[in-house]
Amino acid sequence: MSGTLAHRLWTILFYLFVAVIVIFAVFPFYYAIVTSFSTGTALFEVHYWPVTFDTSNYETVLGGRQFPRSIVNSVFIAATTVIFALFLAVTASYALSRVRFRGRGLLLMAILAVSMFPQIAVLAGMIEMIKFLGLFNTPWAMIISYTVFTLPFTVWVLTTFMRDLPVEIEEAAIVDGATPWIIITKVFLPLLWPALVTTGLLAFIGAWNEFLFALTFTLSEDQRTTPVAIAMLSGASVQEIPWGPIMAASVIVTVPLVVLVMIFQRKIVAGLTAGGVKG
Amino acid sequence: MTMTGPNGAGRDEGLSLQQQRARSAVWFLAPMLVALFLVAAWPLGRTIWFSLTDTTLDNIYGGKFVGFSNYLRVRTLDSGAMLWRGTLVDPAWWNAVWNTVKFALISVILETVLGLLVALVLNAEFKGRGLVRAAILIPWAIPTIVSAKMWSWMLNDQFGIINNIMLNLGLIDHKIAWTASNDTAMIAVLIVDVWKTTPFMALLCLAGLQMVPRDIYEAARIDGIHPIKVFFRVTLPLIRPAVAVAVIFRMLDALRIFDLVYVLTPNSAATKTMSVISRENMIDFNKFAYGASQSTLLFAILAIFVALYIWLGKVDLTGETNR
């Protein structure tokens, strides 16, 4: 009998721990949503449950000129960066995963090293390049600089995905006289769609969230990306931080990401753990 | 490059299939390598060069070579006293180094321990496991700037819910200015970082745990070995490679932290990290070359750290040797 009692106690403790994990993970986002729907005095009293449903914070941020503009900028920059990175990465990772050549391991290490680079280390040189190209304060400054982390990441993940595709498919194509280009476009690409979607999504999230380059390469308000716009949202004075609109803006940029992550949950976990962990 | 086919062999039909493939590999790799060179190697080289000059932000091409004087230089005064200058004797820089190392060590240790715990929970079979996994993905999906803002609102000294909860529970007797006070600013940064990145750690650990064959646990249970002993003697050694890779990824991320600190605790000397101080010198203080020397140092520190970690820990990052 004591065995079942201990077992029951253990189960209760286990679920308690699970509950703590879930609350800790979800609460800040929940609280941001609650705050984003409160205005006036309700904002400055602590409420654990929503007491008001006031959409005026959303009207403030979406009615203004800057924030909607920053969303457009962010979508354009992140999408272009990802398409560019995927385009270069597909052929490169075919070579890295399927063709044996000397120095392949070294090359893979170099690519991995770039993806783990401190971005600040390229900042000074990047400023020079962006100014030289006359791209300062344009979206292209971000698109170029984001390549430093999106490209190695996509190459790395796609390489691990491609390594797992069966050799037989490729061999059959070679016997049929297919060139490597045909193998990539006609044989591998159809099989790679799920991997491309996952990798693209992860790279998109990375580009969407980037702050250091976006902060450095934008001057005027209408060129800002959403993280910079949110960081710079300010009230009439330093003391008056507009918490309501900030939370509304935060919820607006986060909800699409959370929805996407929920939909592609399994694939994202697979994408994140691709690479080293397989060993 | 590595692909040195027989010179002048020319025609494709003269080459074996393997050589033909190696040859096309060059063309498949070239665009990616050129792009990486332009956005990574070249700017890095220029940063290192700038660190050896007296370049300023408004006159990028006007800098002169000054050797290592941004790092360390000495001036002998008329009185004979030696005056040391440069980043390597700059207390603000060493403060930033110390802040970064402290932050990286504490956050990665906490995230590894908590991540393992969460992974063990998720590895167990229970009702609602899918929901829990979805829930812990939320902090990961939220942009860093947004989480910094969310938490600075929750940690607000006047109206913040954290002070409210802790007052109600009797944990504190007065409201704490978490992000503004020097004693608590680092704690605030650590809380937000642990909240945001433990999910990533948990998922990587979980991937490692799922590789451990279930019958090992079965065998241990039949032999009557205590689960805690099984964890430390069997599970942990088996998932060590996966955890080691996760730890180095997190460590590198933590050592270069910029956005969270910049937004959560702006201008706090207690949290200013290497990345923050480099950018501040480069952009805000118009000491471009000086900031470049600091970012070069950060790069050197990370490079040495990675090399030591891979060498001492025999970590296989590419996954090539197992194939």
At A259-270, the pLDDT tens digits run 988 888 887 777
Domain locations along chain B: 91-313
| B12: confidence class by pLDDT, cuts 50, 70, 90 | very low
User: Most A CBs within 10 Å: which of B26, B53, B87, B149, as the mutation test of the A interface?
Assistant: B149
Mean pLDDT within B254-267: 92
CB A111 within 8 A of CB B36: yes
pLDDT of residue A5: 84
More confident residue, A193 or B105: B105
User: Given CB atoms, is A142 within the 8 Å cutoff of chain B?
Assistant: no
* Pairwise CB contact (< 8 Å): B245 & A258: no
Check pLDDT > 90 for residue A73: yes
Looking at chain A, the whole-number percentage of residues with pLDDT higher than 90 is 44
Q: How far apart are CA A245 and CA A66, in angstroms?
A: 13
| DSSP state letter for A236 | S
Give pTM, 2 decimals: 0.88
Report for A37-51, A79-93, B209-223: range of highest mean pLDDT: A79-93
Mean pLDDT within A189-206: 87
Check pLDDT > 60 for residue B13: no
Residue among A25, A105, A184 minimizing CB distance to B136: A25
Min Cα separation A115/chain B (Å): 10
pLDDT one-digit tens code per residue, B168-226: 898 888 888 898 888 899 999 999 999 999 988 998 888 888 888 888 888 888 888 88
Q: How far apart are CA B250 and CA B109, in angstroms?
A: 10
Cα dihedral value B147, B152, B155, B156, nearest 10: -150
pLDDT of residue A272: 72
pLDDT of residue B4: 41
pLDDT one-digit tens code per residue, A91-120: 899 889 888 888 888 888 888 888 888 899
| B14: confidence class by pLDDT, cuts 50, 70, 90 | low
Check pLDDT > 70 for residue B323: no
Residue A78: left (phi > 0), alpha (psi -120 to 50), or beta?
alpha
CB B148 within 8 A of CB B264: yes
* Pairwise CB contact (< 8 Å): A105 & B318: yes
* Closest-CA residue of chain B to A257: B141
Q: What's the ipTM?
A: 0.88
Mean pLDDT within A179-202: 84
pLDDT of residue B299: 94
- A272 to each of A266, A276, B180, B201, how far by Cα in Å? 10, 10, 35, 10
User: Given CB atoms, is B139 within the 8 Å cutoff of chain A?
Assistant: yes
Whether CATH 1.10.3720.10 fits B91-313: yes
* Pairwise CB contact (< 8 Å): A32 & B317: no
Check pLDDT > 90 for residue A135: yes
Q: How far apart are CA A181 and CA A9, in angstroms?
A: 61
CB B145 within 8 A of CB A257: no
